[in-house]
Each structure stands twice: as C-alpha cells, then as structure tokens.
Amino acid sequence: MNVVNLAQMLEFSQKGDSRGHLVIVEGKEDIPFDIKRLFYIFGSKNDIVRGQHANKESEFVLINVAGTSKVKVNDGKGNEAVYSLNRPHTGVYLPRMVWKEMYDFSDDSVLLCLASTRYNEGEYIRDFDEFVKLVNEDE
C-alpha cells in the first residue's frame, strides 16, 4: 500500500447552539496519535507554498480553523493527492514519510498543525530528490 493511501480526511465532533460552535479533537480518539506538539500557520499569501518536506518520524493532522488552504501529499513513488481544507471541523491525517506542501491560502487562513512528536530538525527531509531516494531504497 502506498503512503498516500494512508493519508485521509477526518471529521471531528462539533457542538453548537445560538452561542456558536465548539469542535473537539482528542489524541488517540479523534486522531491516531497522542498530540506532542501543535503549531499554526497564518498570514501566508495565496502564492506561497509552505511545508515542502517529509518527516521520518512525525505524523500530522492539519486543520484549517479559519479560512481555507490546500495540502498536496506525495509518496515519492508517483502517487499524489490534494486535499482542500475548507471546514473547521475537518482535517487531513498525514502519516510519516509523506512529502507535504501547503498552499492556496485564503487571506484569513489559520492552519492548525497537530504533531505526534516534539520538534526535531534531524527528522526533516527538505530535499525532494533525497526523499524519493529514501522511500525507494526498500524496493
């Protein structure tokens, strides 16, 4: 199975009434890992591409809590998928060793990123050709 098939859209529980809405995301319940880190991206222009890396160990769930963006994933074996994040109660799960690019940000976009690991620069692969080489070594 290619790693792109492991990436998937998730829908989270939401509650709401006349006061507004509440979205609930719990580690090991709504997403397949314990949350060790979170960060968010905002203020990115429409023509900016973020990410452009893979992670050896980290899994992610990306949620546009405001605005919209797109996420393109590539497994380095010729398989690619694009996810549109346009509802604050949905997100995309990204497994380890998938190349990710976030782009097409709306002006009001706030992209929340939940990670399975603490930050470790050493686990990032920032060169696409190196990523392709690594994922194809096992064959």
DSSP readout, 117-135? Answer: S---GGGEE--HHHHHHHH
CATH code, 57: 2.60.120.10
Range of the domain at 99: 3-11+28-136
- pTM value? 0.92
> Does residue 76 fall inside a structural domain?
yes
pLDDT, tens only, 42-82:
999 999 999 999 999 999 999 999 999 999 999 999 999 99
pLDDT, tens only, 82-132:
999 999 999 999 999 999 999 999 999 999 999 999 999 999 999 999 999
How many folded domains does the chain comprise? 1
Catalytically annotated residues? 53
Reported as half-sphere exposure (CB side, CA atoms, 13 A), residue 69 has a value of 34
> Does residue 21 fall inside a structural domain?
no
